[in-house]
Amino acid sequence: MKHLYVCYFLTLWELRTAYLNHSDRLRFWNNDHPSGVVKVKPERRSILKVLSRALRLRCTACGQSSIARGPFRIRHHCPTCRSLFKREEGFFVGAILANVMTTELVILVVCMVWLMVIGSSYESVLAGLFVVALLFPVAFYHHSWSLWLGFDYLIEGLPRYDKTSS
């Protein structure tokens, strides 16, 4: 089981860095990213505080403003602390991965509960799981983005948006 968690973490990290080539990564760490992004200085971060902010759909860096500006619309950056939410192309792949994996987990739990506790027929369980599989990812959209931002904030920090550079 421990090996599974390590593989999951490495897969997330590889997805996160797959869209930056080596030279872009070097410039990013030297605060000279081509998209006008300035790297935030590392600070001590509480995992529970970041998780709480992510579950409440707040900025994972400051906790002041919402990451969503409407249904299925994520803000570009936090208006309070200027942390950048939408960065390079492909950054959202991690949020999609979080949404898919959480949906699969929810489907598995609902299936086990429905078959073992409720004891319905298999056809009614499949119909219910189909409904869950359609509705849960839509309802979990903002939370998957928020959890991915929280994960990224814990690993490397969120860069700040610098509107003078762009």
Domain containing residue 6: 2-161
Its pTM stands at 0.66
Q: How many folded domains does the chain comprise?
A: 1
Residue 90 near residue 81, CB atoms below 8 Å: no
Q: Indicate whether 82 belongs to any domain.
A: yes
pLDDT of residue 45: 75
CA distances from residue 100 to 19, 95, 104 in whole angstroms, order as listed:
20, 9, 6
Q: Token pair of 157, please?
A: 């920090």
pLDDT tens-digit map of 97-143: 999 999 999 999 999 888 888 877 888 889 999 999 999 999 999 99
Task: Report whether pLDDT(19) > 50.
Answer: no
| pLDDT band, residue 37 (cuts 50/70/90) | low
pLDDT of residue 26: 38
Q: Indicate whether 44 belongs to any domain.
A: yes
Q: Indicate whether 98 belongs to any domain.
A: yes
| Distance between first and last Cα of the chain | 45
pLDDT tens-digit map of 38-87: 554 545 678 999 999 999 999 999 889 999 988 889 998 999 999 988 88
